Chain A
Amino acid sequence: MNIFRYGALAAMAFSAGIAGTAAYAADTSYAQLQRGKSLVDAGDCVSCHTVDGGKPFAGGRPIETPFGLIYSPNITPDRETGIGAWSDEEFYNAMHFGTDPKGARLYPAFPYPYYSKLTRSDVDAIRQYLNTLPPVRSAIAVSANNAHRVSGLIWPLNYRFFMRGWDWLFFDPGEFRPNPKKSAEWNRGAYLVEGAAHCGACHTPKNTLGGDENSHLLQGANIQNWFAPQIANDVRSGVGSWSTDDIVEYLKTGRNKFSGATGPMAEVVGNSTSKLPDSDLHAIAVYLKDTPGAAVDAGSKPEQKIFASGKAIFADSCAGCHQANGQGVPQMFPPLAHNANVQSSDPATTIRVILEGAQTVPTSARPTASSMPAYNWKLSDDQIAAVANFVRNSWGNSAPAVSASQVAEMRRQLQANIAQ
Chain B
Amino acid sequence: MARKLPAVDVVLVGFGWTAAILGQELTDAGLNVVALERGGWRDTSTDFGVTFAQDELRYYWRRALFEEPARETLTFRNDQSQTALPMRHLGSFLPATGVGGAGIHWNGQNWRFLPSDFVAKSHNTQRYGSLPDGMTIQDWGVTYEELEPYYDRFEYICGISGKAGNLNGKIQAGGNPFEGPRKREYPNPPMEMAYAPTLFAQAATETGHVPFPCPSANMSRAYTNPLGVTLGPCTYCGFCEKFGCGNYSKSSPQTTILPVLMRKKNFELRTECEVLSVKHDMAAKRATGVIYVDTQGEEWEQPAEIVVLCAFAQHNPWLMMLSGIGQRYNPQTGEGTLGKNYAYQIVSSVDVFFDDKIMNPFVGAGALGIGVDEYNGDNFDHAGLGFIGGGYLACWQTNGRPIETHPVPKGTPKWGAKWKQAVAKNYLTTATIATHGAVMSHRGNYLDLDPTYHDVHGRPLLRLTFDYTDNEHKMSDYLTDRAAEIAKAMKPREFHAKKREGHYSIVPYQTTHNTGGAIMGTDPKSSVVNRYLQTWDLHNLFVMGSCVFPQNPGYNPTGTVGALTYWAADAIKNKYLKNPGALVQA
Name A's B-contacting residues (CB within 8 A).
317, 320-321, 329-333, 357, 359, 362, 364-375, 377-378
Contact = CB atoms under 8 A, between A and B. Distances in A.
B51 A370 contact: no
B230 A366 contact: yes
Given A362-B263, A368-B248, A357 B233 contact: no
A329 B234 CA distance: 11
A359 B259 CA distance: 13
B391 to A, nearest CB: 34
How big is the B interface, by class?
20 to 34
Closest CB pairs A-B (n = 7) = A373-B49, A371-B45, A367-B259, A320-B235, A368-B230, A373-B51, A329-B222
Given A329-B233, A364-B263, A320 B50 contact: yes
26 contacts: A320-B50, A320-B235, A320-B246, A321-B247, A330-B222, A331-B224, A332-B222, A332-B230, A332-B248, A333-B232, A362-B259, A364-B228, A366-B230, A367-B229, A367-B260, A367-B263, A368-B229, A368-B230, A369-B259, A370-B248, A371-B45, A371-B49, A372-B45, A373-B49, A374-B51, A375-B51
Contacts of B259: 362, 367-369
Given A329-B232, A370-B232, 12 more contacts: A321-B232, A329-B222, A329-B233, A330-B222, A357-B49, A359-B45, A367-B229, A368-B230, A371-B43, A373-B51, A373-B52, A374-B51
Interface of B: 43-46, 49-52, 222, 224, 227-233, 235, 237, 246-248, 255, 259-260, 263
Nearest to A357: B45
Contacts of A317: 50-51
Given A320-B50, A362-B263, A371 B232 contact: no
Contacts of A321: 50, 232, 247
A377 B45 CA distance: 14
B237 A320 contact: yes
B232 A332 contact: yes
Contacts of A357: 45, 49
A366 B263 CA distance: 12
A356 to B, nearest CB: 11
A289 B361 CA distance: 50
Given A329-B222, A332-B232, A332-B248, A367 B227 contact: yes
A359 B233 CA distance: 18
A321 B50 CA distance: 9
Contacts of B235: 320
A171 to B, nearest CB: 40
Contacts of B52: 373
B458 to A, nearest CB: 36
Nearest to B44: A371
Contacts of B232: 321, 329, 332-333, 370
A387 to B, nearest CB: 13
A332 B50 CA distance: 15
A332 B255 CA distance: 12
B234 to A, nearest CB: 10
B51 A367 contact: no
A374 B52 CA distance: 10
Contact of B51 (A331, A359, A364, A378): A378
Contacts of B44: 371
A191 to B, nearest CB: 31
A365 B227 CA distance: 9
A330 B232 CA distance: 10
Nearest to B227: A367
Contacts of A378: 51
B224 to A, nearest CB: 8
A359 B50 CA distance: 14
User: Which of A321, A364, A368, A373 lies at the interface centre, i.e. has the most chain B CB atoms within 10 A of its CB?
Assistant: A368
A368 B259 CA distance: 6
User: Which of A320, A321, A330, A366 lies at the interface centre, i.e. has the most chain B CB atoms within 10 A of its CB?
Assistant: A320
Contacts of A369: 259
A398 B546 CA distance: 55
B45 A373 contact: yes
Contact of B247 (A320, A331, A359): A320
